[in-house]
C-alpha cells in the first residue's frame, strides 16, 4: 500500500480536490533496437491491425466527447488512421527494410509533407497525423497510448508536463485537478488550467515516483501542497479549508471596488471565442486580455480576415457593452508560428517576438486590425480596446498606434511587459490611450529569469521588490499622462497581490474568470488607504518574502481563506 507522502509544488489554480490518479503518458519515439523488416507482408498486416485499433479507440472517444467540435475532430482523426494512402506508404517503407515503428514514422512524415503542400484544411490535419503516429507507435511497442487517458471517473491528472493543446481540451467535469512535475507558474498550461477553473499545482517534484500503486491524492491548488494516500484527517482538513473559502466568497458579486467604493474593473483573460462565451457568463466586467494568438497557433497559414472578423465579432457579441481588450498577435518565443518563421534565434524570448514579429510581417497585423475594425462595425455598441504586446520604445508604441488608428480603432494601447516600457512609461504611454501590465513577462525580463523554467519560480515572483518598482513606475507614468493602467498578468488574480496593485494605482485587473470572485471579495475587505499602505510596505521590503509577509500583516485575516 502506498504510504502517506506530502509533496510541495507551486499552486497555480486555486481550489481543492481529492480523488484517484489518472496518469498522462508521454509519447514514445521509434524503437531504436527494432530489427529490419524481414517479412514486410506480416509486418504490414500487424500495422493495419494497430491502425485499426487506433481508429476504433478514437471513435470510442468521439462517442463520449463533451462537445460537437471535439467529436468531429476525433472522428476525422479516426478516419485518417485507416487512410489507404497512409497504409500504402507504410508498405513501401517496410519493403525498403524499415522495422515497423520506423516504417510508421517515415510514412507519416511523407504523408504529412504532402498535406502541408496542399495547404488550408489539409495542412491542418498534420497534427492529427502525428497523433495517430504516436498512438500506433506506442501500441506497436506494447506501451500505453500517449496523452490524457479516457477518464471513466472524475480524477486528478498527473503528468510530467502538459502541452497547452492537451490542457485546452480537458473536460472540467471529469478532471478534478492537475499536478505536473515540470512546468512554470506562468506557463500557458498553468494559465489554461486556471481558465478552466481546475485546481492545479506545477513543479511537484517526485510525484511520478510517489503514485506507483494508483493511490488517491489530495491537492490544494492554492498552496501547491499534494498529499499522496491522504489520511481521513487530511481529507477532513481539506474539506474544512474549502468550506472556509466558500464562506469568505459568500456575497462576492457585482462591480469590483474597494470597501470605500474605489472602482477596480474586474475582467477576464480569454484565448478563444468559446472562452469569451463562457467568461461572459461570469459576474465580471468584460475581458482585459484576449490572447488572440490562440487563433493563429497550430496552423500552417494565417486565418483570413473573414475568419478573424467572425471570431472577434463573436467575442464582442458575447460581452455586449462590456469592455473587451484584444491583444494583437503575440507569437514567437514559447508560441512559435510555422507560417511566420523568421529563422533560428539564439534567444527567442529576446528575439523577434510580439510586436517585433508584427513589424517584420506587417501583412499579418494589417489583416488583424482590419478584422478588428470590421468586428467593431458589426457590434457597434461593443467597447473594443486594442493593444500591442512586447513594446519597448516610444517609436514602437507610435508605430502601432498609427496603424491601429488608421484602421479605425478608437482605444489603442500597449502592454507594459518590458522593463524599458515600465521605466519610461511616462513617455511611452503619452502616444497611446492606455497601458496594461503583463506581469508574467515583466517579471521574466526584470529578473532575467526564463518564465518557462519552473526552478526559477522564486525569481519570477511578482512580489520581487524590483518587479514592484517597475509596476510603480508604470503607474506613475499612467498618472502623469492621465492614461489608465491595468494588469493582465497572473499577478492580478492573486487576491493579496491585487490589493497591492490597486494601492499602486492600477485601475483594472484581468485574470482567469474563476479567480474573479476571490479578488472581488479581497477588495471589498479593504479600503483604498489600506491598499496604499500595503503598496508602501511591499515596496519598502528587502525581499519578495518580506514584501508578502508585510502585506499579510496589514490585511484582514479573512484573506487567508481566499488565497
- Position among 293, 367, 441, 561 found at the interface with Mg ion (CB under 5 A): 441
Backbone angles phi, psi at 273, to 5 degrees: -65, -35
C-alpha cell at 554: 496589514
Q: Which helix (H) or strand (E) holds 445?
A: helix 439-447
For the chain, the 3-state helix, strand and coil shares in percent, each to the nearest 5, are: 50, 15, 35
489 binds, among Mg ion, ligand PEP, none (CB under 5 to 8 A by kind): ligand PEP
Q: Is 494 in the site for ligand PEP (CB under 6 A)?
A: no
Known catalytic residue at 488 = yes
Three-state SS annotation for 465-505: HHHHHHHHHHHHHHHHHCCCEEECCHHHHCHHHHHHHHHHC
Taking the C-alpha atoms of residue 56 and residue 479, their distance in angstroms, rounded to an integer, is 61
Known catalytic residue at 18 = no
Q: How far is the CB of 327 from ligand PEP (least distance, A)?
A: 7
Q: Is 489 in the site for ligand PEP (CB under 6 A)?
A: yes
Q: Identify which of residues 13 and 374 has a Cβ nearer to ligand PEP in the complex.
A: 13
Q: Identify which of residues 450 and 527 has a Cβ nearer to ligand PEP in the complex.
A: 450
Cα–Cα nearest to 129, from 117, 150, 149, 115: 115
Q: Is 419 in the site for Mg ion (CB under 5 A)?
A: no
Q: Identify which of residues 134 and 330 has a Cβ nearer to ligand PEP in the complex.
A: 330
Taking the C-alpha atoms of residue 519 and residue 499, their distance in angstroms, rounded to an integer, is 8
The catalytic position among 18, 105, 475, 488 is 488
Q: How far is the CB of 272 from ligand PEP (least distance, A)?
A: 14
Q: Is 291 in the site for ligand PEP (CB under 6 A)?
A: yes
| 208-237 binders of ligand PEP (CB under 6 A) | none
291 binds, among Mg ion, ligand PEP, none (CB under 5 to 8 A by kind): ligand PEP
| 293-322 binders of Mg ion (CB under 5 A) | none
C-alpha cell at 339: 507560417
Q: Is 490 in the site for Mg ion (CB under 5 A)?
A: no
**Which residues on adjacent β-strands are paired with residue 269?**
289
Q: Is 515 in the site for ligand PEP (CB under 6 A)?
A: no
**Angle ∠(279,185,205) on CA atoms, nearest 5:** 130
Taking the C-alpha atoms of residue 469 and residue 471, their distance in angstroms, rounded to an integer, is 5
Stretch that binds Mg ion, among 155-163, 212-220, 434-442, 501-509 (CB under 5 A): 434-442
Name the residue with the smallest CB distance to Mg ion. Answer: 441
Taking the C-alpha atoms of residue 358 and residue 329, their distance in angstroms, rounded to an integer, is 7
Taking each continuous run of H as one helix and of E as one strand, the counts in the chain are 24, 16
**Which residues on adjacent β-strands are paired with residue 533?**
none
Taking the C-alpha atoms of residue 129 and residue 122, their distance in angstroms, rounded to an integer, is 11
Q: How far is the CB of 347 from ligand PEP (least distance, A)?
A: 16
Q: Identify which of residues 220 and 441 has a Cβ nearer to Mg ion in the complex.
A: 441
The catalytic position among 18, 105, 188, 531 is 188
Q: Is 77 in the site for ligand PEP (CB under 6 A)?
A: no
| 313-342 binders of ligand PEP (CB under 6 A) | 330
Q: How far is the CB of 74 from ligand PEP (least distance, A)?
A: 28
Phi-psi sector, 92: left (phi>0), alpha (psi -120 to 50), beta: alpha
Look-up of cell digits 467575442 = 315
* Residue 418 CA from chain centroid, whole number: 20
Q: Identify which of residues 74 and 365 has a Cβ nearer to ligand PEP in the complex.
A: 365
Work out whether strand 323-327 and strand 286-291 pair parallel, antiparallel, or are unpaired: parallel
Q: How far is the CB of 158 from Mg ion (least distance, A)?
A: 28
Taking the C-alpha atoms of residue 144 and residue 291, their distance in angstroms, rounded to an integer, is 34
| Count of CA atoms in the C-beta half-sphere (13 A) of 349 | 16
Q: Identify which of residues 93 and 417 has a Cβ nearer to Mg ion in the complex.
A: 417
Q: Is 488 in the site for ligand PEP (CB under 6 A)?
A: yes
Cα–Cα nearest to 407, from 326, 487, 330: 326
- Position among 438, 462, 495, 514 found at the interface with Mg ion (CB under 5 A): 438
| 429-448 binders of ligand PEP (CB under 6 A) | 438-441
Backbone angles phi, psi at 383, to 5 degrees: -100, 85
Q: How far is the CB of 422 from ligand PEP (least distance, A)?
A: 12
Q: Which helix (H) or strand (E) holds 220?
A: strand 216-220
**# of chain residues touching Mg ion (CB under 5 A):** 3
Q: How far is the CB of 180 from ligand PEP (least distance, A)?
A: 18
Q: Identify which of residues 98 and 358 has a Cβ nearer to ligand PEP in the complex.
A: 358
CB 325 within 8 A of CB 290: yes
Q: How far is the CB of 168 from ligand PEP (least distance, A)?
A: 14
Which residues are near ligand PEP by CB under 6 A?
Answer: 289, 291, 330, 417, 438-441, 488-489
Q: Hey, which residues are catalytic here? A: 188, 488
Which residues are near Mg ion by CB under 5 A?
Answer: 417, 438, 441
Amino acid at each position: 500500500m502506498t504510504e502517506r507522502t506530502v509533496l510541495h509544488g507551486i499552486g497555480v489554480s486555486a481550489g481543492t480536490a481529492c480523488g484517484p490518479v489518472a496518469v498522462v503518458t508521454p509519447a514514445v519515439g521509434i524503437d531504436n533496437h527494432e530489427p529490419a523488416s524481414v517479412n514486410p507482408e506480416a509486418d504490414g498486416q500487424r500495422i493495419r491491425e494497430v491502425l485499426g485499433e487506433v481508429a476504433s479507440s478514437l471513435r470510442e472517444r468521439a462517442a463520449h466527447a463533451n462537445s460537437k467540435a471535439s467529436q468531429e475532430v476525433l472522428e476525422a482523426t479516426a478516419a485518417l488512421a485507416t487512410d489507404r494512402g497512409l497504409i500504402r506508404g507504410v508498405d513501401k517503407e517496410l519493403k525498403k527494410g524499415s522495422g515497423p515503428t520506423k516504417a510508421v514514422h517515415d510514412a507519416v512524415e511523407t504523408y504529412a509533407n504532402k498535406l502541408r503542400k496542399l495547404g488550408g484544411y489539409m495542412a491542418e490535419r498534420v497534427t492529427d497525423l502525428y497523433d495517430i503516429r504516436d498512438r500506433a507507435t506506442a501500441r506497436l511497442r506494447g506501451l500505453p497510448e500517449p496523452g490524457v487517458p479516457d477518464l471513466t471517473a472524475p480524477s486528478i491528472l498527473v503528468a510530467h508536463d502538459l502541452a497547452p493543446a492537451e490542457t485546452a481540451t480537458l473536460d472540467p467535469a471529469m478532471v478534478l485537478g492537475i499536478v505536473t512535475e515540470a512546468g512554470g507558474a506562468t506557463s500557458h498550461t498553468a494559465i489554461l488550467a486556471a481558465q478552466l477553473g481546475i485546481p492545479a499545482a506545477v513543479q511537484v517534484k517526485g510525484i511520478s515516483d510517489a503514485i506507483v500503486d494508483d493511490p488517491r491524492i489530495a491537492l490544494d491548488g492554492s498552496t501547491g501542497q499534494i498529499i499522496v494516500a491522504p489520511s481521513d484527517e487530511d481529507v477532513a482538513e481539506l474539506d474544512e479549508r474549502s468550506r472556509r473559502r466558500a464562506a469568505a466568497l459568500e456575497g462576492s458579486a457585482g462591480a469590483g471596488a474597494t470597501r470605500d467604493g474605489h472602482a477596480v474593473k474586474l475582467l477576464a483573460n480569454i484565448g478563444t471565442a468559446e472562452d469569451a462565451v463562457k467568461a461572459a457568463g461570469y459576474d465580471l466586467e468584460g475581458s482585459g486580455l484576449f490572447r488572440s494568438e490562440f487563433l493563429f497557433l497550430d496552423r500552417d497559414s494565417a486565418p483570413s480576415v473573414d475568419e478573424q472578423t467572425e471570431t472577434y465579432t463573436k467575442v464582442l457579441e458575447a460581452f455586449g457593452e462590456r469592455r473587451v481588450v484584444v491583444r494583437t498577435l503575440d507569437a514567437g518565443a514559447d508560441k512559435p508560428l510555422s507560417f511566420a518563421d523568421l529563422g533560428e534565434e539564439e534567444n527567442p524570448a529576446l528575439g523577434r517576438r510580439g510586436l517585433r514579429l508584427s513589424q517584420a510581417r506587417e501583412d499579418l497585423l494589417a489583416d488583424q486590425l482590419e478584422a478588428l475594425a470590421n468586428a467593431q462595425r458589426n457590434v457597434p455598441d461593443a467597447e473594443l480596446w486594442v493593444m500591442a504586446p512586447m513594446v519597448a520604445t516610444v517609436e514602437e508604441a507610435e508605430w502601432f498606434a498609427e496603424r491601429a488608428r488608421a484602421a479605425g480603432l478608437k482605444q489603442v494601447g500597449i502592454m507594459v511587459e518590458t522593463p524599458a516600457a515600465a521605466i519610461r512609461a511616462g513617455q511611452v504611454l503619452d502616444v497611446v490611450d492606455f497601458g496594461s501590465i503583463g506581469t508574467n513577462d515583466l517579471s521574466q525580463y526584470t529578473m532575467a529569469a526564463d518564465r518557462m523554467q519552473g526552478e526559477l519560480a522564486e525569481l519570477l515572483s511578482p512580489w520581487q521588490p524590483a518587479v514592484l518598482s517597475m509596476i510603480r513606475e508604470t503607474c506613475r507614468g499612467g498618472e502623469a499622462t492621465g492614461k489608465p493602467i491595468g494588469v493582465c498578468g497572473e499577478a492580478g488574480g492573486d487576491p493579496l497581490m491585487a490589493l497591492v496593485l490597486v494601492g499602486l494605482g492600477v485601475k483594472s485587473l484581468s485574470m482567469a474568470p474563476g479567480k474573479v470572485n476571490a479578488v472581488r471579495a479581497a477588495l471589498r475587505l479593504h479600503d483604498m488607504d489600506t491598499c496604499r499602505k500595503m503598496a508602501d510596505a511591499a515596496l519598502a521590503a528587502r525581499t519578495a518574502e518580506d514584501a508578502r509577509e508585510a502585506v499579510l500583516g496589514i490585511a484582514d485575516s479573512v484573506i487567508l481563506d481566499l488565497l
